[in-house]
Amino acid sequence: MIALLSDVHANLVALEAVLADLPPVDALWVMGDTVGYGPDPKDTFALLRERGATLVAGNHDRAVATGEGLALFNPAARAAADLHRTWLSSEDRDLLAALPVTLEPAGGYLVCHGSPRDPLWEYVFDASTAAQAMAATAATRCCVGHTHVPAVFRTGDGRVMVNPGSVGQPRDGDPRSAYALLDVASGRVDLRRVEYDVRETQQRMRARGLPDVLADRLDFGL
Ligand code: ZN
Element (H, E) at 109: strand 109-112
For residue 60, report the distance from its CA to the centre of ligand 1, in Å.
7
**Ligand 1 centre distance from Cα of residue 172 (Å):** 13
> How confident is residue 147, by pLDDT bands cut at 50, 70 and 90?
very high
Confidence class of residue 157 from pLDDT cuts 50, 70 and 90? confident
Terminal CA-to-CA distance of the chain, rounded, Å?
29
Ligand 1 centroid to 91 CA: how many Å?
Answer: 22
Neighbours of 38 (CB within 10 A): 29
For the CA atoms of 43, 48, 52, 54, the dihedral, rounded to the nearest 10 degrees, stands at: -140
CB 43 within 8 A of CB 12: yes
**Distance (Å) from CA 197 to ligand 1 centroid:** 20
How far is ligand 1, taken at its centre, from the CA of residue 146, in Å? 5
Q: What does 115-179 look like in DSSP terms, one character per residue?
A: -SSSTTT----SHHHHHHHHTT-S-SEEE--SS-S-EEEE-TTS-EEEE---SSS--SS--SEEE
Q: So what's the pLDDT on residue 139? A: 93
Q: How far is the CA of 221 from the centre of ligand 1 (A)?
A: 13
Over residues 76-119, the pLDDT tens digits come to: 999 999 999 999 999 999 999 999 999 999 888 999 999 999 99
So what's the pLDDT on residue 9?
Answer: 98
Percent of the chain with pLDDT over 90: 94
CA of 101 to the centre of ligand 1 (A): 14
